[in-house]
Amino acid sequence: MPDGSFAHPQQRQFNPYTDNGGTILAIAGADFTVIAGDTRQSEGYSIQTRYAPKVFRLTDRAVLAVNGFAADGNMFVKKVKQRLEWYRHAHAKDMPLRAIARLIQTMLYAQRFFPYYVYNILGGIEEDGSGAVYSFDPVGSYEREACRAAGAAQSLVQPFLDNQIYFKNQKAAPGTSHPTHLPLSDVLSIVIDSFTSATERHIEVGDGLEIYVVVARGRSPQGIEGIRGVQELSAQPNGDRTFILRRELKKD
Amino acid sequence: MDHFPTNWGRPRNDAFDAYGTYPIHQRAPVKDTFAEGVQHTQQPIVTGTSVLAIQYKDGIMMAADNLASYGSLARFKDVRRLHAVGTSTVIGASGDMSDFQAIQSILDDLVTDEFTHGDGHDLGPAEVHEYLSRVMYARRSKINPLWNSLLVGGFRDGKRFLGYVDLLGTTYSAPSIATGYGAYIAIPLLRAAVDGKQDQLTEENAKKILHECMRVLFYRDARSLDKYQIATVSAAGVTISDQIQIETAWGFAEGIRGYGAQTQ
Amino acid sequence: MSIMEYNGGSVIAMVGKDCVAIASDLRLGNQALGISSNFQKIFQMTDRIFLGLPGLATDVTTLKETFRYRVNMYTIKEERELEPETFAHMVSSALYERRFGPYFIEPVMCGLQKTHTGEYKPFIAATDLIGCLNFAKDFVVAGTASTKLYGVAEGLWEPDLEPEDLFETCAQTLLNAVDRDAYSGWGAEVYVLTKDKVIRRTLKGRMD
C-alpha cells in the first residue's frame, strides 16, 4: 500500500467473464415470430468488430438470440445445435420449440455454479402453429412471452415494447379493443425503431441489424418477400419459412 | 535504475510502487510458494505487445515487433511473434511469450498429426482459428488461461481469413484487427485505410499502412520496439519477412512543453 | 446504497410546437419501501418556468426553497421577469457552488423563452448534480428511470407536436418508463405550457 503497509496484499485474480455489449429482441405474432439483434461486438470502449452475429437459426422453426459474454454465447449455441442434431439422429425430426426451450433451461442450469454469462431469447413457431418467444436468464429461469428485449439496451427498449406491443397505459377507442397480435409490417417497424433508438442512446449498440422472421407453415408471409434486401433461408417453401432482413445502424 | 537489489531479476508490478521506492524492510515477506497449494491464477511474465493485421487484395498481412518485455525491461529483442502454421496460415501473439511457445508446440504437433494421416487434407486458417479458440476457451473454463491475444490470418481456396482469439476464448473476425495498444492506436488508422477497401488494397499499400502503424506504435507504446516483421499470406503461401527497422526522428520532442522536467 | 436512488423518482421534459411539457412521478420512497404517493417534484418558478427536482427528497425541499428565494431576489433587484435560459444558468451555478459536497438532485427545467420579437420560444434544459448544463432540442430526462425514459422518448417523440399531442407523448413516455422502474411510479403529473395557459393533469398510474 502507498502508506507502506501490506495489510491487503496485491493480487490479480483472473476473471473468466467479460461483457461484449449489444442488444437482442424478439416479438411473437399470431402465426410468425421476429427475432433480431445488432451485430456490434465490443469490449469496454473498443469496438472489436462491426459484424458478429448474435442471432442463430437452430431448426426450420426455431431461432436463438444470444447476448452477454460472446465466448460463452458462441459455445452455448454450438452445444445447443449439437444436441438438436443428436435429437434429429435419434428421432428423425426436428425438436419442437417448447422442447428446445426446456433443453436450454437444463443446459443453462447444468452450469449453475459456473454459469454461461448469457441472456437467451428463443423465438419460433410452436407445434400448434402459433408464434412464440421464450426468454431465459443466465441460469435457466424461463417463460413464454409475446415479446422480450435483452442485453445492453434492455432498459431502453423493454418499456417501449410494453407500450407498443402490449399497449400498456393505452386505452382502446370506445367500443374497440387492442389487438392481441400485430401484423408483420407493424412488428418490423417497431423492431427497427427500437434498434435505431437504442443505437442513438447506447454506445454498445449499433453497426448492423439482423432480423429473422419465421412464418408458420401455410400462413401468409404478409408481403415480407417484397421488402428490400430480404433473403429466404428455408429450403422448401411449403414448410415453415424463415427470412432474414438486414439493416444498417449508425456506426458511431 | 532499480536501486534495491532484491528487486533485481523480479518482474515489476507497475500498478504499485512502479519505481521500487520502498526499502527492503517495508516489503512483503516472501511467502512459501506452495503454502496455498498449486495455484492456477497467474499473470503474464515475459510479454509481447501489439499485433496488427489487415486483409488486402490478395490475402492478409500481419505485423508484430521483435520485443519480449519483462515488465518494463526490454528483455529479449530478437523474438519472433509471428508463426506459420501449415502452408496457408499464420498466427501472431501478444501477451505471455511462454504461453505462446506452448501454443506453437500444440499447433505444430497438430499439423504433424494431420499430416501423418496422409489423407491429403490439411488445416487452413479457419480450422486453426476454430481449434485455437476451443483450446483458449477450454483453458479459461479451467481458470487456467493461456495469457494471450492471438491473431490468426490466412488465405485458402481463394478466400481470405482474419480472426482474433484471446485468453477468455472471445473470438471475432474483421477486415482489420489489432491487439494490445494497437487496438487503441492503430485500429483508427487501419479502419480508415482498410475497411471496405480490402478488395482494392495492393500488397505494396498494405505494407506501407502497416509500416506507418508500427512507427506510430513505436513512438507511443513504451513496451514496443523499432524492429518488426511482416507476415504475408496469399495464394503464393506464407512469407514471414526479415526484420524491418523503423526509422524515427525525435527532434520534435525538444519543442514539447507541458509535461516532463522542463524548467520553463 | 446510492444516495441518488434513496428516495426514487423521475422527471422528463419535452419540446413541442410553441409549447413545452414537463412530467414527473409522485412516489416518495425509502429505498424499496413506498412512503408517499403524493410527493411533488415539479415546481412553478415563474409564470412560464417550471422546475423538476428528482433525487434526494430532503434536497428537493431545500432546493425548491433556495430557487424560490433566488428567483424572488432576481425579480426584485432586476425589476424584470426571469427568463428560462437565465434560470438554467442560475440552477447550474447554485449547484456548482456545492461542487465538492453536492445536492443529490438532477434538475430538469422547461419554460417559454421571450424572443426579441416578443414571441415565446420553447426551452428545456437539465443538469447533473453539480450543474453541468444540457440544452437539448428534443427532450431531457432525469431520475431513477432515466435509462427507460431515454428509450421510450427516443421512440415516441417527434418534432413540432401540438400541445395535446405533446401531453400524450410526454404522459405515455413517463408512464411506460416508470412502470419498468421499481423506484418510480405511484401516480404522475404532467404540465403543458403554452403562451396563454398552463395545463396541469394528474395521471392515474399503476400503484405497484
Q: Domain extents for chain B?
A: 46-245
Sequential pLDDT tens for chain A (252 residues): 445 454 544 455 899 999 999 999 999 999 999 999 999 999 999 999 999 999 999 999 999 999 999 999 999 999 999 999 999 999 999 999 999 999 999 999 999 999 999 999 999 999 999 999 999 999 999 999 999 999 999 999 999 999 999 999 999 999 999 999 999 999 999 999 999 999 999 999 999 999 999 999 999 999 999 999 999 999 887 899 999 999 999 999
* Tens digits of residue pLDDT in B34-92: 556 665 557 899 999 999 999 999 999 999 999 999 999 999 999 999 999 999 999 99
Question: CA B234, CA B241: separation in Å to the nearest integer?
Answer: 14
Residue B243's nearest CA partner among B89, B94, B65, B95 is B65
**In chain A, which residues have their Cβ closer than 8 Å to the Cβ of B143?**
14, 16
Give the ranges where C42-145 is alpha helix by DSSP (H).
57-78, 84-96
Chain B: partners with 3+ C-beta pairs within 8 Å? A
Does residue A5 lie in a domain region? Answer: no
Contacts 24+ apart (CB under 8 A), C112-116: C112/C19, C112/C20, C112/C48, C112/C84, C112/C193, C112/C194, C112/C195, C113/C83, C113/C84, C113/C85, C114/C83
Q: Do chains C and B touch (3 or more CB pairs under 8 A)?
A: no
> Which residue, among A49, A66, A69, A117, would best test binding to B if mutated, counting the most B CBs under 10 Å from its CB?
A49
Distance from CA of B255 to the nearest CA of A (A): 32
DSSP count for chain B of H helices, then E strands: 4, 14
User: In this complex, do A163 and C156 lie within 8 Å of one another by their Cβ atoms?
Assistant: yes
CATH of domain B46-245: 3.60.20.10
Does residue A16 lie in a domain region? Answer: no
Does residue A17 lie in a domain region? Answer: no
Distance from CA of A218 to the nearest CA of B (A): 38
> Where in the sequence numbering do the catalytic residues of B fall?
41
Q: Smallest Cβ distance to B143: which of A1, A16, A46?
A: A16
Question: CA A171, CA A210: separation in Å to the nearest integer?
Answer: 33
CATH of domain C1-201: 3.60.20.10
Distance from CA of A46 to the nearest CA of C (A): 22
User: In this complex, do B140 and A71 lie within 8 Å of one another by their Cβ atoms?
Assistant: yes
ipTM over 0.90 threshold: yes
Tally A–B CB contacts below 8 A.
Answer: 62
A198 touches chain C (CB under 8 A): yes
A189 touches chain C (CB under 8 A): no
Does residue A169 lie in a domain region? Answer: yes
CB C4, CB C56: distance < 8 Å:
yes
Domain CATH for A164: 3.60.20.10
Distance from CA of B174 to the nearest CA of A (A): 6
Predicted TM-score (pTM) of this structure: 0.91
Question: CA A33, CA A162: separation in Å to the nearest integer?
Answer: 17
Question: What is the longest distance spanned by two Cα atoms in chain B?
Answer: 73
User: In this complex, do A16 and B141 lie within 8 Å of one another by their Cβ atoms?
Assistant: yes
* Tens digits of residue pLDDT in B87-137: 999 999 999 999 999 999 999 999 999 999 999 999 999 999 999 999 999
> Which residue, among A192, A197, A201, would best test binding to C if mutated, counting the most C CBs under 10 Å from its CB?
A197
Q: How many residues does chain B have?
A: 264
Q: Into how many domains does chain A fold?
A: 1
Residues 139-178 of A with CB under 8 A from C: 153, 155-160, 162-164, 168-170
What is the distance between the terminal CA atoms of chain A, rounded to a whole angstrom? 40
Question: CA B78, CA B225: separation in Å to the nearest integer?
Answer: 10
**In chain A, which residues have their Cβ closer than 8 Å to the Cβ of C184?**
none
User: In this complex, do A49 and B140 lie within 8 Å of one another by their Cβ atoms?
Assistant: no
